[in-house]
Amino acid sequence: MDKDRDIKQAAKQKFTDYLTANKCRKTPERFAILELIYSDMRHFDIDTLSVALQKSGLPVSRATLYNTMRLLVDCKLIVKHRLDKNRAFYERASTNDFHLHLVCTNCLSITDYKDTELQRAILNKKIKKFKPVHYALNVSGLCSECARQLKKNKKK
Ligand SMILES: [Zn+2]
Ligand SMILES: [Zn+2]
């Protein structure tokens, strides 16, 4: 799709400018990571990203991965969501794609949930002395599969 290609192109340009401005090296690994994230990653952590890179024939070291994620978060191309002290996940930054994250506390699955009413309310919100870059809301709970399993186990 052309729109997707434009978004990806814009992201690459932004990253290039950022790396130049911060005197960072423009390594092929860094751009491969960006390319992959903007192609087909939705919510992911370092482990899933590492596996996906390996599958695409481009194994990247942990150090490079962490380092690149830090840069991508810093130049606001991706957002890091912290679930608790030890767990976090990432996703692409976008102000017009507002959604809720339904996070299952049991299996840690993350499901997007769109609510147009909430979206309108949030996007229309003018926040003083603050410029929002990305919107997301995390709702913790139990997914239907886990709720069903737990209920079954209780009966035993
Ligand atoms: Zn679950
Ligand atoms: Zn999301």
- Provide CB contacts within 8 A for 41, sequence distance 6+: 48, 49, 52, 91, 92
State the distance from the centre of ligand 2 to the C-alpha of 141, rounded, in angstroms: 16
Is the separation of the CB atoms in 102 and 141 below 8 Å? yes
Query: Does the model's pTM come out above 0.95?
Result: no
State the distance from the centre of ligand 2 to the C-alpha of 118, rounded, in angstroms: 15
Report the Cα–Cα distance between both ends of the chain, in Å, rounded. 51
State the distance from the centre of ligand 1 to the C-alpha of 143, rounded, in angstroms: 4
Q: What is the mean pLDDT of the chain?
A: 89
State the distance from the centre of ligand 2 to the C-alpha of 23, rounded, in angstroms: 31
State the distance from the centre of ligand 2 to the C-alpha of 42, rounded, in angstroms: 7
pLDDT tens for residues 7-46? 899 999 999 999 999 999 999 999 999 999 998 788 898 9
Q: What is the DSSP string of 35-102?
A: HHHHHH-SSB-HHHHHHHHHHTT----HHHHHHHHHHHHHTTSEEEEE-SSS-EEEEE--SS--EEEE
Domains of the chain (ranges; CATH) run: 1-92 (1.10.10.10), 94-156 (3.30.1490.190)
- Residue with the bigger pLDDT between 96 and 31: it is 31
Lowest-pLDDT choice from 53-62, 94-103, 123-132: 94-103
Q: What is the model's pLDDT at position 1?
A: 58
Closest ligand to residue 94's CA? 2
**Mean local confidence (pLDDT), 80-109:** 84
Q: What is the model's pLDDT at position 135?
A: 77
pLDDT above 90: percentage of residues in the chain: 47
Helix (H, G, I), strand (E, B) or coil at 141: strand
How far, in whole angstroms, is CA 17 from its chain's centroid? 21
State the distance from the centre of ligand 1 to the C-alpha of 74, rounded, in angstroms: 31
Q: Token pair of 24, please? A: 């960072």
pLDDT tens for residues 102-135? 999 888 888 889 888 988 888 888 889 988 777 7
Is the separation of the CB atoms in 8 and 14 below 8 Å? no
State the distance from the centre of ligand 2 to the C-alpha of 98, rounded, in angstroms: 8
